[in-house]
Amino acid sequence: MTSKQKIVVIGAGIVGASMTYNLAKRNQDVTLIECNPTAGCEVTEKSFAWIHSSSRVLQKYRHLYDAALTEYHELEKEMTELKINWHGALSWGVSASMEESHIQKLNRQQIIELEPNLREYPEEAVYAREEGAVDPIWTTKLLVDKAEENGAKILFGTKVMKIRIENGKVVGVHTSNGFIESDVIVVAAGAAVPELCKPLGLDVPVAPSPSIIVRMKSNEKLIHTLISNSQFEARQLTDDTLIAAEDYREETGENGPEAIGKRTFEILRHGLKGGENLELESIKVGMRPMPADGYPIVGFIDQLKGLYLTVMHSAITLAPVISHLAASEIIDDVRIEELESCRLSRFRRPL
């Protein structure tokens, strides 16, 4: 029988929440620490939250994306409250970066049937029927709630000041509310991971990658799938809320977030039937944690016993499946083959 370990998870975004849930449901002594007053803040709050499994990725990571949908369907069985919009993703006029085996081509009439509220239609589009999206804040909070039901301790408003190491092994964390002892520390703090790890002599090649989320009030459902084209990337978050995602370009000026957000809002107002009733609610910038090669960094650190890293983009797509596998590594003290391509050691330069 696997012994119970004291595990601290740092960060209550989608990754930390998923880790805490998977560890707690397997009867571990888990404490989730978050500096904000609630879960799902920072980048999770500003996520487009597309479960984007058809992305074209390196073959050694393909299995994780393929498993992402299955993991979400399993979560639906475990949590009847979980709301996933399996509406599919409709794309045209953008660079082809989707696996052909995961998509189908649609003609103009088929596009009209899927999205009756567009003012203009392409002659052809691709449709990833199996893809979906979630409300990132709701989903993250639900995972935390379920983790707590399984015995996890949740500490909001608590900042981790330092990870404490003794004789090459983690022993706990110093926080704004005192010291917490632990056998394992899971660092799931997104773009803050390098800052937490640097005092330990650990270089984690992750940089903040900004993106823009535009949120609009809608008095009716205007978009039925998730639409990605050369003009906008948008979906209904709820029947009365529409969100759009845009690339971050400059800090201020005509290509700053505010200007880009307002242009996107106008494009949607004029590009959708009923769009004239949209109301601009907010324009926010999220700092996505982007590993240097764009792929997840997951696993124990050889030289620091008990330190486990979990950082990735897209976290919404990958967090449930990766945290499920990662929990097995931590609890069962095994190396999971499916995570071998995600190790930090791949960034080491040969001597």
- List average pLDDT for each run of 10 residues in the chain, which is 351 residues long: 85 98 97 97 92 91 95 96 95 77 91 97 95 96 98 98 97 98 98 96 95 96 96 95 94 92 97 97 95 97 96 96 98 97 87 40
H helix or E strand, kind and range, residue 145:
helix 136-149
Q: Please report whether residue 299 resides in a domain.
A: yes
| Domains contained in the chain, number | 2
Q: Please report whether residue 256 resides in a domain.
A: yes
Residues 285 and 152 in one domain: no
Q: How many Cα atoms are found within 13 Å in the side-chain-facing hemisphere of 158? A: 21
pLDDT value at residue 194: 97
Q: How far apart (Å, rounded) are the C-alpha atoms in residues 256 and 212?
A: 10
pLDDT value at residue 55: 85
Q: How far apart (Å, rounded) are the C-alpha atoms in residues 111 and 207?
A: 38
Angle at 283 between CA 280 and CA 289, to 5 degrees: 150
pLDDT value at residue 348: 83
Residue 308 and residue 299 in contact, taking contact as beta carbons nearer than 8 Å: yes
Encoded tokens for 234: 């948008």
Phi-psi sector, 243: left (phi>0), alpha (psi -120 to 50), beta: beta
Q: Please report whether residue 142 resides in a domain.
A: yes
Residues 178 and 308 in one domain: yes
Q: How far apart (Å, rounded) are the C-alpha atoms in residues 215 and 213?
A: 6
Residues 71 and 103 in one domain: no
Residue 196 and residue 160 in contact, taking contact as beta carbons nearer than 8 Å: yes
Strand partners, 163: 173
Residues 142 and 277 in one domain: no
Encoded tokens for 4: 């119970």
Strand partners, 55: 98
Q: Which residue has the tokens 């980048």?
A: 43
Encoded tokens for 307: 């330190």
CA quadruple 158, 164, 169, 172: dihedral sign: negative
Burial-class residue 12 by CB neighbours within 10 Å (0-12, 13-18, 19+). Answer: buried
Q: Please report whether residue 1 resides in a domain.
A: no
Q: How far apart (Å, rounded) are the C-alpha atoms in residues 36 and 38?
A: 6
**Cis ω before 341 (30° cut-off from 0):** no
Q: How far apart (Å, rounded) are the C-alpha atoms in residues 171 and 130?
A: 43
User: Which domain, by its residues, includes 310?
Assistant: 6-76+135-205+292-347
pTM of the model: 0.94
Q: How far apart (Å, rounded) are the C-alpha atoms in residues 211 and 284?
A: 8
What CATH code is carried by the domain that includes residue 153? 3.50.50.60
Q: How far apart (Å, rounded) are the C-alpha atoms in residues 258 and 263?
A: 9
Closest of 14, 33, 129 to residue 82, by C-alpha: 14
Encoded tokens for 260: 């880009």
Residues 270 and 157 in one domain: no
Residues 105 and 59 in one domain: no
- The four Cα atoms 296, 298, 304, 305 give a dihedral, to 10 degrees, of 180
Which residues does 181 contact at the CB level (< 8 Å), separation at least 6? 6, 171, 172
Residues 285 and 316 in one domain: no
Q: Please report whether residue 32 resides in a domain.
A: yes
Q: Please report whether residue 83 resides in a domain.
A: no
Residues 141 and 119 in one domain: no
Given 261, 290, 319, the domain boundary residue is: 290
Residues 122 and 64 in one domain: no
Q: Please report whether residue 82 resides in a domain.
A: no
Q: What is the SS3 assignment for 104?
A: strand
Residues 266 and 336 in one domain: no
pLDDT value at residue 54: 85
